[in-house]
């Protein structure tokens, strides 16, 4: 910037400044200070009410490594990385708002420090001369940045009409007492207009001051250091506004601007503006493994899970207030996409409203009125909780680190304790408790699939092995998946890997049992599996089941079972890199790959499957929703054991529709036993059978290792 364009050189430094209360009588200034202190008092009271609300929740072990947490929080806040993900426009606009607001706040604080601090008590002034001029320029640019961001947000809400910004509830019916959420729309617009008015009146106030004091060269000659105000002043002067008229307008506008700003400050703890603090706090105490590693429960305690709002940890109560209603969780939710009565945002907002009504009063209501389960106002419906697939799409995309899935699981734990679940789910849990697997088969049949092999599979309970294979229920008992399991066994055998299995001592890993909310059964399964593993001698674990992979990797350590574990895709990729897997031919298929939730989104296992497909010679065409934005098959969270309502679309069918849009697609590739089951069924029921086939990645690897005829190749 050419400084010469902004005015002459500063000759008398101390004359180039702005008198803060210029033209006001001492009594008027005192009255303004009284209003300011009142606004601060209201703010502090509101802040206290919020803190009291959080303190009424249960304790949460989130105070460790505070410095590291603060550093990570600052990085996220300053970078806006989580806000810009999958919504670049909103990310840019919010940066304009955030940094504009931050500079304006720092500038206002600087004026206060000088006027009410160093000047008043020490006689030291610094708000003049070059400092003042650069300060004025920075404040103008910050105000312009703030207004630009706000105007875009207005455009986004009014004219873009994004579905995720529609607060229409999916878990209520018109006429229900809490169906209408128009209050949130009014609050959003009130916030936007208030910020717009504060910004605009600030610029106009600056302009009329320049016209009012236009005869003073220390004001007028340096006006372009406040470019927006100077431009407006030029327009006002050219339209005939006199200095006297500007002075009168300035007085009235000064009070309007000041009262608006003070009202804004006082209402921060009671409106959406408090997300400045709550979102920061939520990011500060975020758990990077929130859904991958669910919290342990004291099974000997009086309560299990969340029944009343006071059962929530203070951290989860903070999460409720951190929600900015951006709708990204709802947009990503597979249950919501297929019309289930679940929006992660609605769950959070309902609980927030419930918490505010119950916990912000001076005295707590009785326990019955604190119950968050039911059909009452603010309560969460059982149907809503059981619609969740616990796929973590909501947690992963949330820009303020709200833990939707852990909250939902905690609510489910109470339902399970009281037996409020689908009869088929209850029967499955009883079956797992009795037999150790979800198929109800005898434990001795778990390794029946090995009999079709032409080589023995080691019993790792008696023979030391390098690689322990934790097979999993579907890979062990489901006939279709048994073919894949046998293929992986042949692959390990032919590459000379020393591997073994636990035979009948292996039990369901418990990942989905835990996410159903049956914590007691989960701990029983985990402890039995850990005991069996600890009796065996091995170097590391491999599994073909991402669900087992997740819980063994992330949750078993809490129960004393800490192991080195890999999903089979990373093992195969390493064997290929080492040259131990030699392909007979390339496949040359046009394929798409589905990221399993528990391998991809949960554990960032994105690259190995894709690199294997590339090595196999396949042309990989990504679906629109891929990698961390992959769309759940619908099996997670125990939903594979719960029938979907008749006549409604399943998440797996929705995914098939997405895949079918890929021109010339031949193979839909999966790397999870449950995915294979869900998608092969969905291919038939969605009407796309014959257009492409669903195959496990292991099947493609084995095909590339074997000389086949054209008829034996994948048929489309």
| Domains of the chain and CATH, by start | 3-14+67-167+180-270 (no CATH), 289-417 (1.10.1060), 434-575 (no CATH), 580-705 (3.40.50)
User: Binning pLDDT at 50, 70 and 90, where does residue 5 land?
Assistant: low
pLDDT score recorded for residue 713: 46
Residue 184 has pLDDT above 90, yes or no: yes
Residue 8 has pLDDT above 70, yes or no: no
The Cα–Cα gap between 499 and 300 comes to 39
Reported as a single tens digit per residue, the pLDDT across 16-49 is: 888 889 989 999 999 999 999 999 999 999 999 9
| Exposure letters 227-264 (e unless 16+ CB within 10 A, then b) | bbbbebbeebbeeebeeeebbebbeebbeebeebbbeb
Closest alpha carbon to 660 in 623, 715, 610: 623
pLDDT score recorded for residue 240: 92
Task: Determine the Cα angle at 365 with ends 360 and 367, to 5°.
Answer: 125
The Cα–Cα gap between 509 and 474 comes to 11
CB 53 within 8 A of CB 310: no
Q: Report the pLDDT averaged over residues 325-351.
A: 96
Residues of the chain with pLDDT > 90, as a percent, come to: 86
pLDDT score recorded for residue 7: 59
Q: Report the pLDDT averaged over residues 700-708.
A: 83
Please indicate, yes or no, whether the overall pTM of this predicted structure exceeds 0.85. yes
**Secondary element (H or E) of residue 96:** helix 88-113
CB 396 within 8 A of CB 375: no
Alpha helices, DSSP H, located in 116-242: 119-122, 129-158, 182-212, 217-220, 227-238
The residue written with tokens 């994948």 in the block is 714
Q: Report the pLDDT averaged over residues 520-526.
A: 97
What is the pLDDT of the chain when averaged over all its residues?
93
Cα dist from 607 to 397, 627, 674, whole Å: 20, 9, 20
Residue 61 has pLDDT above 80, yes or no: no
CB 225 within 8 A of CB 7: yes
CB 509 within 8 A of CB 545: yes
Q: Report the pLDDT averaged over residues 127-134.
A: 92
Please list, in sequence order, all residues whose beta carbon lies within 8 angstroms of the beta carbon of residue 436, skipping any fewer than 6 positions away.
443, 506, 507, 508, 525, 528
The Cα–Cα gap between 283 and 322 comes to 9
The Cα–Cα gap between 184 and 181 comes to 6
Give the least confident one: 67-81, 120-134, 411-425, 547-561. 120-134
Assign 343 to helix, strand or coil: coil
Q: Report the pLDDT averaged over residues 287-296.
A: 92
Residue 129 has pLDDT above 80, yes or no: yes
Give the least confident one: 31-40, 216-225, 293-302, 700-709. 700-709
**Secondary element (H or E) of residue 449:** none
The Cα–Cα gap between 566 and 578 comes to 17
Beta bridge partners of 689: 692
- In this structure, what DSSP letter does residue 662 have? S
Residue 714 has pLDDT above 50, yes or no: no
Q: How far apart are the first and last CA of the chain?
A: 65
Reported as a single tens digit per residue, the pLDDT across 566-584 is: 999 999 999 999 999 999 9
Alpha helices, DSSP H, located in 227-296: 227-238, 243-267, 275-284
């Amino acid at each position: 910037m050419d400084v010469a364009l902004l005015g002459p050189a500063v000759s008398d430094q101390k004359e180039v400044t702005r008198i803060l209360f210029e033209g006001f009588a001492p009594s008027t200034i005192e009255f303004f200070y009284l209003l300011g202190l009142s606004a601060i008092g209201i703010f502090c009271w509101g802040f206290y009410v919020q803190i009291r609300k959080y303190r009424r929740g249960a304790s949460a072990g989130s105070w460790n490594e505070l410095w590291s947490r603060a550093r990570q929080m600052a990085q996220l806040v300053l970078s806006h990385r989580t806000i810009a993900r999958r919504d670049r426009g909103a990310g840019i606009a919010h940066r304009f708002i955030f940094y504009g607001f931050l500079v304006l706040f720092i500038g206002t604080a600087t004026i206060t420090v000088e006027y009410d601090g160093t000047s008043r008590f020490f006689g030291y002034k610094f708000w003049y001369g070059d400092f003042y001029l650069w300060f004025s320029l920075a404040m103008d640019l910050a105000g312009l940045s703030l207004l630009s961001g706000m105007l875009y947000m207005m455009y986004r809400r009014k004219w873009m009409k994004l579905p995720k910004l529609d607060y229409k509830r999916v878990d209520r019916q018109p006429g229900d007492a809490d169906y209408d959420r128009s209050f949130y729309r009014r609050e959003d617009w009130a916030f936007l207009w208030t910020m717009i008015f504060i910004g605009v009146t600030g610029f106009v106030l600056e302009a009329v001051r320049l016209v009012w004091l236009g005869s003073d060269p220390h004001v007028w000659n340096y006006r372009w250091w406040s470019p927006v105000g100077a431009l407006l002043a030029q327009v006002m002067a050219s339209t005939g506004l006199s200095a006297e008229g500007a002075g009168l307008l300035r007085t009235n506008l000064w009070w309007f601007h000041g009262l608006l700003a003070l009202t804004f400050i006082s209402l921060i703890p009671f409106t959406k503006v408090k997300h400045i603090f709550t979102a920061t706090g939520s990011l500060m105490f975020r758990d990077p493994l929130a859904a991958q590693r669910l919290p342990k429960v004291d099974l000997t305690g009086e309560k299990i899970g969340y029944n009343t709002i006071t059962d929530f940890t203070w951290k989860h109560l903070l999460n409720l207030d951190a929600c900015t209603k951006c709708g990204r969780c709802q947009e990503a939710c597979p249950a919501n996409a297929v019309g289930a009565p679940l929006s992660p945002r609605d769950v959070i907002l309902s609980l927030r409203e419930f918490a505010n009504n119950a916990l912000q009063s001076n005295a707590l209501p009785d326990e019955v009125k604190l119950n968050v389960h039911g059909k009452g106002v603010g309560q969460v419906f059982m149907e809503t909780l059981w619609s969740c697939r616990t796929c973590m799409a909501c947690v992963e995309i949330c820009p303020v680190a709200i833990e939707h899935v852990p909250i939902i699981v905690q609510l489910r734990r109470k339902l399970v304790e009281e037996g409020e679940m689908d009869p088929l789910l209850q029967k499955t849990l009883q079956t797992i408790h009795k037999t150790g697997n979800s198929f109800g088969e005898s434990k001795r049949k778990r390794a029946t699939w090995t009999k079709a092999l032409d080589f023995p599979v080691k019993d790792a309970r008696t023979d030391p092995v390098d690689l322990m294979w934790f097979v999993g229920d579907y890979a062990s008992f489901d006939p279709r998946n048994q073919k894949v399991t046998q293929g992986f066994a042949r692959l390990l055998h032919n590459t000379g890997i020393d591997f073994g299995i636990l035979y009948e001592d292996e039990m369901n890993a418990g990942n989905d049992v835990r996410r159903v909310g049956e914590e007691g059964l989960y701990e029983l399964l985990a402890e039995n599996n850990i005991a069996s593993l600890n009796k065996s001698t091995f170097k590391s674990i491999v599994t073909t089941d991402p669900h087992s992979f997740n819980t063994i990797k992330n949750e078993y350590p809490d129960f004393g079972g800490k192991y080195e574990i890999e999903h089979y895709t990373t093992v195969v990729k390493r064997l290929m890199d080492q040259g131990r897997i030699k392909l007979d031919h390339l496949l040359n298929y046009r394929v798409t790959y589905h990221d399993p939730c528990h391998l991809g989104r949960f554990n960032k296992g994105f690259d190995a499957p894709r690199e294997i497909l590339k090595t196999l010679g396949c042309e990989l065409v990504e679906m629109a929703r891929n990698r961390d934005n992959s769309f759940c098959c619908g099996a997670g969270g125990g939903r594979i054991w719960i029938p979907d309502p008749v006549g409604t679309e399943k998440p797996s069918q929705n995914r098939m529709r997405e895949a079918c849009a890929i021109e010339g697609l031949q193979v839909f590739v999966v790397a999870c036993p449950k995915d294979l089951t869900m998608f092969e069924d969905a291919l038939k029921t969605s009407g796309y059978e014959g257009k492409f086939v669903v195959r496990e990645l292991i099947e493609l690897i084995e095909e590339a290792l074997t000389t086949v005829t054209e008829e034996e190749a994948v048929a489309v």
